[in-house]
């Protein structure tokens, strides 16, 4: 004879260690039927429990993403643990720079959708790399955004290394990585006089990202006028399109100030 629905329910309760039920109330979600478990006693709100499981699953995915992204991001050790809170603000201009970078992270989905770049330009030792790498770290750690950091010198060095058989990589692979990341932070732009090869490589990267609508953070010690000469008008035009956010770092170097 087939078991009744009632008997089937009792059987399932025993299987999962449920020994009873009673009415309960959750401040967030209202009334619910709590179950009494043989091992752990009265259960909590099922909606709260589901939300907790969802948060735990999200954090698990974030953790996996951080580990997978750590090596490819190549954020220098000096800046890997930096935060926006570490950035010293002692002037209105520094507050403007900090606010601009935190806003860029907080609203990155919008900036990404619109292909909006950011220019951090100004004097050496003023915290440009600190803010740029922190933005990349926050996007990786909190928003699961594929962000990578490179200096112009490292890009050119990596590509030139592929010209021998010992590099283990290819120029095409490097370019796919640079063009395909959700965010590319490109530092030390214009730090040295670029060769024709370097200028052509930078144009390929910038134009490739421009064509795919992917944003960049450009970091340089140059002024806006000097940037035109260093990168070429075509590159700068592409960077500035779609409401590029420009931040001027006009204060004096902060390096070593703690020693005086």
Domains by residue range for the chain, with CATH: 21-72 (no CATH), 74-259 (3.40.50.300)
The answer on pLDDT for 135 being more than 90 is: yes
More confident residue, 133 or 9: 133
The answer on pLDDT for 7 being more than 70 is: no
Q: How confident is the model at residue 60 (pLDDT cuts 50, 70, 90)?
A: confident
Percentage above 90 pLDDT, the chain: 55
Question: CA 161, CA 183: separation in Å to the nearest integer?
Answer: 24
What's the pLDDT tens digit per position in 148-170?
999 999 999 999 988 876 656 78
Q: How confident is the model at residue 175 (pLDDT cuts 50, 70, 90)?
A: very high
Of the listed ranges 29-43, 70-84, 180-194, the least confidently predicted one is 29-43
The answer on pLDDT for 57 being more than 80 is: no
Q: How confident is the model at residue 121 (pLDDT cuts 50, 70, 90)?
A: very high
Residue 35 CA from chain centroid, whole number? 42
pTM greater than 0.85: no
Instruction: List all residues 6 or more positions away from 174 whose beta carbon is below 8 Å from its beta carbon.
Output: 155, 158, 159, 162
Question: CA 115, CA 179: separation in Å to the nearest integer?
Answer: 13
Signed CA dihedral, 109, 173, 234, 230: sign only: positive
What's the pLDDT tens digit per position in 237-252?
999 998 999 999 999 8
Percentage above 70 pLDDT, the chain: 87
Closest CA to 205 of 177, 232, 228: 177
Q: How confident is the model at residue 74 (pLDDT cuts 50, 70, 90)?
A: very high
Q: How high is the pLDDT of residue 115? A: 95
């Amino acid at each position: 004879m087939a078991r009744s629905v009632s008997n089937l329910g009792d059987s399932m309760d025993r299987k999962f260690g449920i020994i009873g039920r009673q009415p309960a109330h959750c401040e967030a979600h209202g009334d619910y039927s709590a179950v009494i478990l043989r091992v752990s006693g009265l259960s909590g709100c099922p909606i709260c429990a589901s939300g907790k499981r969802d948060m735990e699953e999200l954090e698990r995915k974030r953790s996996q993403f951080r580990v997978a992204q750590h090596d490819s991001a190549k954020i220098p050790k000096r800046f890997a643990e930096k935060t926006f809170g570490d950035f010293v603000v002692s002037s209105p201009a520094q507050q403007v720079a900090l606010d601009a970078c935190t806003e860029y992270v907080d609203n990155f989905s919008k900036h990404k959708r619109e292909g909006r770049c950011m220019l951090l330009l100004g004097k050496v030792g003023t915290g440009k790399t600190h803010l740029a790498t922190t933005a990349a770290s926050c996007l990786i750690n909190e928003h699961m955004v594929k962000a990578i950091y490179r200096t112009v010198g490292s890009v050119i060095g990596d590509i030139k290394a592929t010209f021998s058989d010992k590099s283990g990589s290819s120029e095409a692979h490097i370019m796919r990585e640079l063009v395909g990341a959700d965010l590319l932070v490109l530092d030390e732009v214009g730090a040295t006089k670029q060769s024709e090869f370097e200028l052509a490589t930078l144009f390929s990267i910038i134009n490739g990202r421009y064509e795919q609508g992917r944003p960049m953070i450009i970091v340089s010690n140059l002024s806006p006028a000097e940037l035109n000469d260093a990168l070429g008008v075509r590159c700068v035009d592409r960077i500035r399109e779609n409401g590029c956010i420009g931040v001027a770092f006009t204060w004096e170097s902060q390096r070593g100030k703690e020693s005086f």
